[in-house]
Amino acid sequence: MDVTQRTAHTADLTPAELHVIRALLDTTFDGGFSDDDWDHTLGGVHALVHQGGDLVAHGSVVQRRVLHAGRSYRVGYVEGVAVRADQRRRGLGGLVMAPLERVIEGAYAFGALSASEQGAPLYRARGWRAWGGRIEALAPDGVVPLPEEEGTTYVLGPQVPSAASPLTFDWRDGDVL
């Protein structure tokens, strides 16, 4: 298996590379990857895995602000994790997550992500744990509870705060988490 890894900031990716990443995400999410989801994936560090010159896996980590118990945390939020369907269960998800976790450990208070039912085993196996408290967003009109995100939001890192108070994420268009 001729596998190569690369990490790059969005600013260092060519329009052609961004097009290939978007195509992988559109295919992997079977049409459920919106323009807002794409926007959420940009502006941070991307982990790219190629096999034989083809992009087979991708993920990115972007900065988000999270309020918790009166403090604002700079959090590395994982977005756009995808492995091409014919390449799953071969360790490529781990090849994507390892450099993203290194970025989180070196640059952020902790990491967070929203996991699908299919993706959650990968994250749990890597030490991510489901957030045990409430999830909210700071919307334009105030704080909005996000109970549907509870149990699917995962965190990682030594500075993960206590679940006694909610995590309140910054607002964004589309899916907030």
> What's the residue count for the chain?
177
The tens digit of pLDDT for each residue in 31-63 reads 899 999 999 999 999 999 999 999 999 999 999
| Alpha-carbon span 141 to 135, nearest angstrom | 17
83, 92 Cβ separation under 8 angstroms: yes
What amino acid occupies position 162? S
pLDDT tens across the length of the chain (177 residues): 689 999 999 999 999 999 999 999 999 999 899 999 999 999 999 999 999 999 999 999 999 999 999 999 999 999 999 999 999 999 999 999 999 999 999 999 999 999 999 999 999 999 999 999 999 999 999 999 999 999 999 999 989 999 999 999 999 999 998
| Alpha-carbon span 25 to 43, nearest angstrom | 16
Could you tell me which residues are beta bridge partners of residue 77? 62, 112
Report if pTM > 0.75.
Answer: yes
CATH superfamily of 3-170: Gcn5-related N-acetyltransferase (GNAT) (3.40.630.30)
User: H or E segment at 60?
Assistant: strand 54-68
Q: Which two tokens stand for residue 171?
A: 């607002």
